[in-house]
Structure 1
Amino acid sequence: MQRGNMLGGMLAHRGQWPLRTYLAGLMGLFVLAGVISLGSGWALAERDGMSAARADARYGARQAADKIGENLTVVRSSVDAVASSPGAGQVFADPASCRLSFSLGGPDDGHLDLLRPDGTVACSSHQLTGDDAAVYRRAPWLPAATRAQQVLGPVADGRTGRPAVLVSAPIPGLGVVVAFVDLVGLGATVADLFGGTRGLEFLVTTGDGGTVLTRWPDGPRWAGTAVRASRFGAPGAAGEGVDVSGLRRVYEQADVAGAGWHVFAGAERSAALTAGHRLAQRQAVIAAVGLLAGLLATLLVYRRITRPIGRLRAAVHVAARTGDLDRAVTVSGPQEVSGLGAEFAALLATVDSELGERRKAEEVAREHERNYRQMFDASPYPVYLFDVETLHIVAVNDAAVRYFGHTRDELLSMAVTDLCPVDDAALVAQAVSTAAPVERGRRLRHVKHDGTVTDVDVTSHLTVFAGRTVRCAILDDITEREQLQRRLRQSERLESLGQLAGGIAHDFNNLLGIINGYASMSAADVEVMTAGDPAWSRLHADLLEIVAAGDRAAGLTRQLLAFARADAVTEMRVLDLNSVVVDVEKLLRRTLGADIILVTRLTPESRPVKADVGRLEQVLVNLAVNARDAMPDGGTLTIDTDAVTVDEHYTAQHPGLRPGRYMRLQVSDTGTGMSKATLERAFEPFFTTKPTGQGTGLGLATIYGIITQAGGHAQIYSELGHGTTVATLLPITTDHAETAEKTEPVPVSGTGQTILLVEDDEGLRALTERILHRNGYTVRSAATAAEARELADAGDGINLLLSDVVMPGTHGPDLARDLRLDRPSLPVVFMSGYAESVLAARSALPPGAVLLNKPVSSYQLLSTISRVLEAGDRIAAP
């Protein structure tokens, strides 16, 4: 500061006139020259530019309208010609004779189709694929098209997915001829032909002005949208308006003859005023004159302003280079210049310290920015920054580019709402406006470039980027995690329901055994007394109904056990899946009805699987019946087989499934489909969407149990209105098929053999004892294992032990083991109403044990006992 004061004292301070006096005169000269130049040429240049732009737009609009009208005339003539052609009927009868051709100048400008009344394609000017044949089945315009000629637009072309103009003509008794003119291609064609050097914008609307038919440029975005959804402003009397994106243009309009459509051709307003360049040339001359006057004025004040400032400047350079603040600088000139010299020393005294602090602050800021940029670019999570006011994306990292599938430039041209499904756009905008400065775990949905919708957890915070407030969003894709948890919950729920179903089987089967046994014996007794007596005949018929109802109840129990994957009554053998489908196909064709088309597609590379053939047939029949009920108005039922390989990625999403080779059996229908809520509960037992009394809810549950019991996997794919596909996977086996068929032994009456019967259920014990007595056996019955031991030790020996498996106190296998200590060759037959998995958890059966699953019919009981006794006699024979 001391040096600064010394320098200030040494400066000559001789001020006269203020500097603003000189500058005000100089600026006055330049302003005067500029006003004269602008006033003379601006109005003329603008008028000329606007007039030329309107003339070009008028020409483009008229030519475009005429071209569109000509194309419509050509399309109508083509449609009418095909509709009235005698060969149209031959094409419907023989689609292979299709020879349609259609062109408006480009391969993608449209196509001509012959449709049947149900919307299926019989013939097309473009090559058909399998999915294209039925794409118009539910088209809203189809009923009207089959009745009368029409020109309709815009409509969605089901073949291309793009908006188009529909021209149709009916063929009485056969179908309809339809022509689709692609609106996006039509707009591009018009722009190529009549856009001119100005690159005119073309906008075609419907006659009521409510819908955009096509637009160039950016046709795919705007074709088929409502005009009110854009920023389009109709041109006024001067021809000025606003296009759909908000850009000001000079418009002219023309109408399409015969269609009533409006064609707007617009030139960019700013480009139309390029004639103002001529104004700049004129003003350059005037500015040169003003500049000359300014130079003269500058020369006038040069000695009073420029030279003192030059001396101060040199002193500043010396001080900055050498740090010498003691140089004497004589400054003369206006008051401001001399004052500047007086403050020079004080300024230099503070510059050095302030400059040092600023450099340090800038270096720290640059270091922070480098660290932040490294974290941003190297993050494995997708990260993007967006403006909190406009929601436009301003920066993305490499992980975001890979995740969304868009290029970096594409992402930077989008808003946050463009990354979300259309239905979520308003929700996302509201979430951003109400978000806290730091927010974690907000659940949103995002859409990738290929249309895949994903669930993400978004963590975001406010920050500053390029001088504006932005929000940094970090994405965590949880789609697979959510799917896996949902499937795991469903699997656990089905497992618990299966355990419940297996647990109730014991008591239910005991009751069914008593009912069926007594009813069968009573029916046999009454049958001998029915001759000539109507009363006994009615009683006999009633008893047979009871037996039939009991059999149906036993079938219901077997369905529950099949769902529980624990039904022991299965015959697993190696079989060919194609053969099972062929055998069931004959039955299905007779029972599905004439309105259901059955299609089978069997793989030529069929591999053997191990399953119960009866259960697989039950799977096919249940699925076919469900499909028939879902197609009340008829449809197509498709059964196909294929050999597939399941990898670890697929098994990670489907708990319980292992990698390997499988045979896939798929049953698909074209019915009503299922909602998401119904789909999640489809495999639950007793869940049904049918009216009360029309379904038990065990069909799909039984299928799930049968397939899972065979080591496979079942899954349903369905959407409302798009049908249902049930896909089952069965593991391919390396075992060889069995060739010998098992024969069921014919029951032989007893000859007084003693059977020790052990059953804790009193009613079932009495029934079994009665059946055995009636068929020649001597029976000793006991309710517990303790009673059975006493009976076995009393009297003569016993020939066979017939025991329940699970009993109070000692179980059947333990009792058999105790009795065989003294009787090693004692034959044993077990009975149980529990599923095999439940028995394994409570009391393991000995290897090779004979097990009868309750309810046991008289035939099964007597056949098994006679077979076991006969086998024991053969072993005992010398």
Structure 2
Amino acid sequence: MRRARQVRPTRPGQREVQAERVAALMRQTPLAVAVTVLNASLMTALLWHLGEGRAGGWLLLALAVAALRLVLVRRWWRASVIARREERWSLLGTLGSGAAGLVWGGGAAWLWPASDAARLIWTFLVGGMCAGATGLHHAHLPATLAFLLAAGLPLLGCYAAVGTAESAIAAAMILVFLGALCFSAWRSSGEFAAQIRLRLDLSRQARELDEMNLRLREAMARHRSAEASLRQAQKMEAVGQLTGGIAHDFNNLLTAVLGSLALLRKRLPPGDGRAGRLLENAWQGAQRGAALTQRLLAFGRRQALDPVVVSLPDLVREMAPLLRSALGGGAQLRTALPPDLAPVIVDANQLELALLNLVANARDALPEGGEIRISAEERSVARGEAGALQPGRYVVLQVADAGEGMDEATLAQAIEPFFTTKGLGKGTGLGLSMVHGLAAQSGGHFVLRSARGEGTVAELWLPRAAAPVPQRAAAPQPGASGRQGNILLVDDDPLVLASTAAMLEDLGHRVTEAGSGAEALALLAAGAPVDLLVTDQAMPNMTGLQLTEAARRLRPGLPVLLATGYAELRGETPPGLMRLGKPFEQDRLALAVEAGLAGDRLDTTAG
């Protein structure tokens, strides 16, 4: 069996050092050729003067070798760096250098003159050529040694062949001279290799330093981005907590206002137009306040959502008349949603409000009119992509316009609450904040891209639903059953308590009022007749959920309707517990109470 050829390991950078050796040899060869041609011509002239007729043939041989060396250099220059094989070019360069040395050494042996003066000239010339070759080709040791040995050994042999003591001494001196030149060439070649390796090491270290600097800059950029994101998140969280608390208090006030206005509307004497207009103005103002608090809660991610499976093409198609009405006559609406688009999981009512806000913003960005495009597509998010989004499938709802666009400073503040570029009284600055909060609370993401003069693209990323869109059921109508019951109403706010009690009594129910959880428990312990417990959630000392647990220990299975100003509930609610979002009107209150008395679990938080 043939033994496998073993590949000798190479030192780091050895290939590069060899390439530099060959390059140095090739770069110096033209100068060596020029010196060879010049000295060969002068030596030929001298030999002709001494009557040596064979000098012309030797000159032709020297010129031929010089020409071949130049052709070799030219071929090396024309070869691409990738195609150069250092071993091959090193061998060819060494052969060329050896051939040039043999021209001088062989020529001396062939044309060895009889006179001592002529011999001294040959010796001086060959010695000078050897010294010159050592200086020119010191980087490439094989080429230097090839020239020295090919040029010096024939000359040494000529002196040794004479047989005299003087010629023997001359031969010994030539041998010492050649040895010194060989040692010098070996030292110079080693120093050249050391310099090349040092240069390669410095270059490698410089590259590594550049890479480390690049990684450091990237890490610093990521750190600055993370710090900015953290500061923004902390700021938004603080503002969200503040707005959530404000919205909760406003919801209590608006519940009292809307309930009182509803009852006052029923008792308004017919024909009193002025009082009716004033009542309608107050009603609309309260409705606008309710919408404002919903936007605050959406921004602070504290609104109570009712996520369901929603078909975006169906939702946009049903909203198209409303959206076109909101646009007026200046802008045109264009929708492009695939009919087979996957459904999403989102609160349908809040999504409609978000889409209306986005279209209204796009309309305001087109004062001279233009096209607003609503489109949607499905996208995938891999791990580590798209910021804080979880890996999975998403449906991206886009609202795009070719309007004025926003500069970088405006874009950076666009989703902050109460920031608006519209005039006084033309906007609250909560539209985009509400969309951002809805997307985050729904497990999605809101992206806003814009540039001055290039328009704006708003992207609402929503989680893709695995289940199909369910069939719609007919909505229950309040007052259908006509059932009346005994209601225990609990709220720490006297205004809300009085207003809600009045609405329930107006519906025909018997109401027992309690201003705290402890008072309600005392009434239950005393045996008060209660068919349904209606309680506020955010109360001091005892929350609505805590009251529910304590009340059911006294009255197992007692149905409870929990009224809440924002989504402070976490996880699943206890069995038989329904929620009613504030502010509520009498119709929604009636619907929730009838469902509670009937034993149905109906969530009417999203009204």
Q: Tell me if TM exceeds 0.5.
A: yes
- Structure 1 unmatched runs, 5+: 1-25, 27-302, 332-342, 384-439, 442-456, 460-474, 873-878
CA distance in 2, matches of 1:798, 1:587: 44
Query: CA separation in 2, counterparts of 1:809 and 1:499?
Result: 21
Instruction: Choose which of 712, 723, 737 in structure 1 pairs with 2:444.
Output: 712
In the alignment, residue 544 of structure 2 is paired with which amino acid? Answer: G
Mark the CA change 1:827 to 1:597 in structure 2 (over 3 Å): closer, same or farther: closer
Give 1:625's match in structure 2, choosing from 360, 366, 375: 360
Cα distance in 2 between the residues matched to 1:553 and 1:518: 15
Of residues 515, 521, 541, the one that matches 2:263 is 521
Give the Cα–Cα distance (whole angstroms) in 1 for the partners of residues 219 and 558 of structure 2.
65
Q: How far off its partner does 1:566 sit?
A: 3.5
Aligned length: 460
Mapped partners of 2:320, 2:127: distance in 1: 106
How far apart are residue 796 of structure 1 and its match?
Answer: 4.0
Judging by fraction of residues, say which structure has more strand.
1
Residue from 570, 580, 584 that aligns with 1:840 = 570
Deviation at 1:721, TM superposition (A): 0.7
Q: Cα 1:305–1:681, aligned 2, differ >3 Å: closer, same or farther?
A: farther
Quote the Cα distance in structure 1 between the aligned partners of 2:371 and 2:240: 33
- Taking the aligned partners of 2:439 and 2:363, their CA distance within structure 1 comes to 21
Q: Deviations over 1:293-332 (max 9, x none)?
A: xxxxxxxxxx99976454456789899989xxxx96999x
Q: Secondary structure at the residue paired with 1:767? A: helix
Match in the other structure for 1:124? none
Determine whether 1:556 maps to 2:310: no
**Paired residue for 1:506, among 241, 248, 261?**
248
Instruction: Provide the C-alpha distance between the structure 2 equivalents of 1:308 and 1:749, rounded to a whole number of angstroms.
Output: 138
Deviation at 1:574, TM superposition (A): 3.0
Q: Give how far 1:375 is off.
A: 6.6
Alignment partners' CA distance in 2, 1:660 and 1:726: 21
TM-aligned CA deviation for residue 850 of structure 1? 0.9
Residue matched to 2:68: none
Structure 2 counterpart of 1:766: 498
In 2, the alpha carbon distance for the partners of 1:559 and 1:552 equals: 11
Higher relative contact order (CA 8 A, sep 6+): 2
Q: Give the aligned residue type for 1:550.
A: A
State the partner residue of 1:857.
585
Which residue of the other structure, out of 694, 717, 724, is the alignment partner of 2:456? 724
Deviation at 1:848, TM superposition (A): 4.2
Q: 1:687 offset after TM fit, Å?
A: 1.4
Once residues 749 and 806 of structure 1 are traced to their aligned partners in structure 2, the CA distance between those partners, rounded to angstroms, is: 30
Going from structure 1 to structure 2, the CA distance change for 1:655 and 1:506 (only over 3 Å counts) comes to same
Q: Is the 8 A contact 1:747 1:859 kept in 2?
A: no
TM-score normalised over the length of structure 2: 0.64
How far apart are 1:826 and its partner, in Å? 2.2
Q: 1:671 to 1:810 in 2, by over 3 A?
A: same
Distance 1:521 1:654, change over 3 A: same
The 8 Å contact of residues 381 and 394 in structure 2, kept in 1 or not, is answered as no
Q: Judging changes above 3 Å, is the alpha-carbon distance between structure 1 residues 723 and 365 closer, same or farther for their aligned structure 2 residues? A: same
1:362 alignment partner, one of 192, 209, 215: 192
- Aligned pair in 2 of structure 1 residues 481, 654: CA closer, same or farther (>3 Å)? farther
CA deviation after TM superposition for structure 1 residue 628, in Å: 1.5
Counterpart Cα distance in 2 of 1:574 and 1:305: 112
Secondary structure of the residue aligned to 1:821 is helix
The Cα shift of 1:655 comes to 2.4
Q: Of the candidates 630, 638, 645, which is equivalent to residue 379 of structure 2? A: 645
| Contact 1:520-1:543 within 8 A present in 2 as well | no
Shift of 1:591: 4.1
Structure 1 residues 482-491 or 799-808, which shifts more? 482-491
CA distance in 2, matches of 1:516, 1:594: 34
Question: Which of 394, 398, 410 is equivalent to 1:666?
Answer: 398
Q: Note the alpha carbon deviations across 1:540-565, whole angstroms, 9 max, x for none.
A: 43233222211110111112222334
Q: In the alignment, is the contact (CA less than 8 A) between 1:637 and 1:669 conserved in 2? A: yes
Aligned to 2:558: 826
Equivalent position amino acid for 1:856 in 2: F
**Which residue of 2 is the match for residue 233 of structure 1?**
none
Equivalent in the alignment of 1:423: none
Letter aligned with residue 555 of structure 1: A
The equivalences for 1:52-71 within 5 A come to none
Alignment correspondent of 1:468: none
1:739 is aligned, of 434, 459, 472, to 472
**Match for residue 592 of structure 1?**
327
CA distance in 2, matches of 1:590, 1:507: 33
SS in structure 2 opposite 1:745?
coil
Taking a change above 3 Å as real, the CA distance of residues 358 and 639 of structure 1, as seen in their structure-2 partners, is: same
The structure carrying a bigger helix percent of its residues is 2
Deviation, structure 1 residue 696: 0.7
1:104-153, Cα deviation, whole Å (9 max, x unpaired): xxxxxxxxxxxxxxxxxxxxxxxxxxxxxxxxxxxxxxxxxxxxxxxxxx
- The answer to whether the 8 Å contact 1:573/1:610 transfers is yes
Query: What is the CA–CA distance in structure 2 between the aligned matches of 1:683 and 1:727, rounded to whole Å?
Result: 13
State the partner residue of 1:547.
283
Matched, 1:613 2:348: yes
2:523 matches 1:781: no
Distance 1:824 1:502, change over 3 A: same
Amino acid at match of 1:552: R
Q: Which amino acid aligns with 2:191?
A: A
Work out which of the two has the higher radius of gyration on C-alpha atoms and give 1 or 2.
2
Q: Counterparts of 2:125 and 2:301 in 1: how far apart (Å)?
A: 97
Distance 1:519 1:681 in 2: 38
What amino acid is the match of 2:379?
T
8 Å CA contact retained: 2:490, 2:535:
yes
Check the 8 A contact 1:646/1:661 in 2, yes or no: yes
Question: RMSD of the alignment, in Å?
Answer: 4.5
Q: 1:577 aligns with which of 309, 312, 336?
A: 312
Give the partner amino acid of 1:850: M
Contact 2:381 2:389 in 1 (8 A): no
3-state DSSP of counterpart to 1:686: coil
Which residue number in structure 2 is paired with residue 338 of structure 1? none
Q: Which residue of structure 2 lines up, in the alignment, with residue 811 of structure 1?
A: 543
Displacement of 1:720 in angstroms is 0.9
The answer on whether the counterparts of 2:244 and 2:302 sit within 8 Å (CA) in structure 1 is yes
Distance across 2 between alignment mates of 1:583 and 1:754 = 41
- Alignment correspondent of 1:106: none
Distance change (3 Å), C-alpha of 1:328 and 1:349: farther
- The percent identity for this pair of structures is 33
With 607-616 and 554-563 compared, the bigger mean Cα shift is at: 607-616
- The secondary structure found in structure 1 opposite 2:309 is strand
Assess, with a 3 A threshold, how the Cα gap between structure 1 residues 693 and 357 changes in structure 2: closer, same or farther.
Answer: same
Rounded Cα–Cα distance in structure 2 between residues aligned with 1:796 and 1:605: 56
| Residue in structure 1 matched with residue 415 of structure 2 by the alignment | 683
Equivalent position amino acid for 1:515 in 2: V
Please give the alpha-carbon distance, in whole angstroms, between the structure 2 residues aligned to 1:309 and 1:489: 89
1:489 is displaced (CA, Å) by: 6.4
Q: Which runs of 5+ in 2 are unaligned?
A: 1-41, 43-114, 131-147, 157-164, 601-607
Check the 8 A contact 1:829/1:865 in 2, yes or no: yes
Q: What does 1:252-267 correspond to in 2, within 5 Å?
A: none
TM-score, normalised with respect to structure 1 = 0.45
CA separation of 1:309 and 1:715: change in aligned 2, threshold 3 A: same
Following the alignment from structure 2 to structure 1, what is the Cα–Cα distance between the partners of residues 562 and 303? 16
- CA drift of 1:483 comes to 7.2
Q: Structure 1 pair 697/796, CA: closer, same or farther in 2 (3 Å)?
A: closer
Q: Is the 8 A contact 2:559 2:577 kept in 1?
A: no
Structure 2 counterpart of 1:508, one-letter code: F
> Residues of 2 paired with 1:636 and 1:662: CA distance?
26
AA aligned to 1:559 is R
Report the Cα offset of residue 627 of structure 1.
1.3
Question: Structure 1 residues 790 and 458, CA, compared in 2 at 3 Å: closer, same or farther?
Answer: closer
| Structure 1 match to 2:435 | 703
Q: Are 1:668 and 1:726, in contact at CA under 8 Å, matched by a contact in 2?
A: yes
